[in-house]
Chain A
Amino acid sequence: EAGVAQSPRYKIIEKRQSVAFWCNPISGHATLYWYQQILGQGPKLLIQFQNNGVVDDSQLPKDRFSAERLKGVDSTLKIQPAKLEDSAVYLCASSLRPSTDTQYFGPGTRLTVL
């Protein structure tokens, strides 16, 4: 069974530029999560999708972050414009069902904003 795929693995941008991350969850997993993990901290949930609907985006900075999950499969997370404090690893995870199920994480995208 293929795992969660993410791209790119690394990205370096200047502040105020835009960036987009892509995630392909495990086949059949209805729930998809985007997390931000700053060095030395635990993952912080940015947004949770159930199929192609948003379940929770309470911690997503909506003035600069956006995410979509078209057709309930792949998802993209965009930052526009980026700030220095956005430097972090962005993790995508998926699970069969929400919250009570094991989450399987992708390798993450390490973003550096200069």
Chain B
Amino acid sequence: QKEVEQNSGPLSVPEGAIASLNCTYSDRGSQSFFWYRQYSGKSPELIMFIYSNGDKEDGRFTAQLNKASQYVSLLIRDSQPSDSATYLCAVNPTSGKVIFGPGTSLSVIP
């Protein structure tokens, strides 16, 4: 089992819809979870981080963490074409080394 898994996509949603991106991880002791956005040809940039179970909201973005089920998700409300990018889930397991998932490609169709 890979340490961090994501659906590779591409995930296509119409403009204005909710995009749901999911990530599962294998190390039950993982403590910190990050979502990065990467536009084509650019470097990753942080969108959100979450440490505690539950939801964390920041504008149109909501991160959801369920440690018991070992998954973290990112919801993007009112999706815009500018949200079209690859979304990387990163997890900080007990080893202390941040592990990135393979990324999910999101396409928001106008």
Contacts and interface: CB of A to CB of B under 8 A. Distances in A.
B92 A42 contact: no
Contacts of B31: 100
Interface string B1-12: 000100000000
B98 interface: yes
Contacts of A104: 46
B59 to A, nearest CB: 17
Given A42-B88, A103-B46, A106-B43, A98 B103 contact: no
Q: Chain A at the B interface: mostly helix, strand, loop or mixed?
A: loop
Contacts of B97: 45, 48, 56, 58, 99
Contact of B43 (A99, A100, A107): A107
Contacts, number: 48
Contacts of A42: 4, 88, 100-103
B32 interface: yes
Given A56-B97, A102-B34, A43 B92 contact: no
Contacts of A102: 34, 46, 49
Contact of B92 (A55, A99, A105): A99
A25 interface: no
A62 interface: no
30 contacts: A40-B102, A41-B102, A42-B102, A43-B88, A43-B100, A45-B97, A45-B98, A45-B99, A45-B100, A55-B96, A56-B96, A56-B97, A99-B32, A99-B92, A99-B97, A99-B98, A100-B31, A100-B32, A100-B92, A102-B46, A102-B49, A103-B34, A103-B46, A103-B98, A104-B46, A105-B45, A106-B43, A107-B42, A107-B43, A108-B43
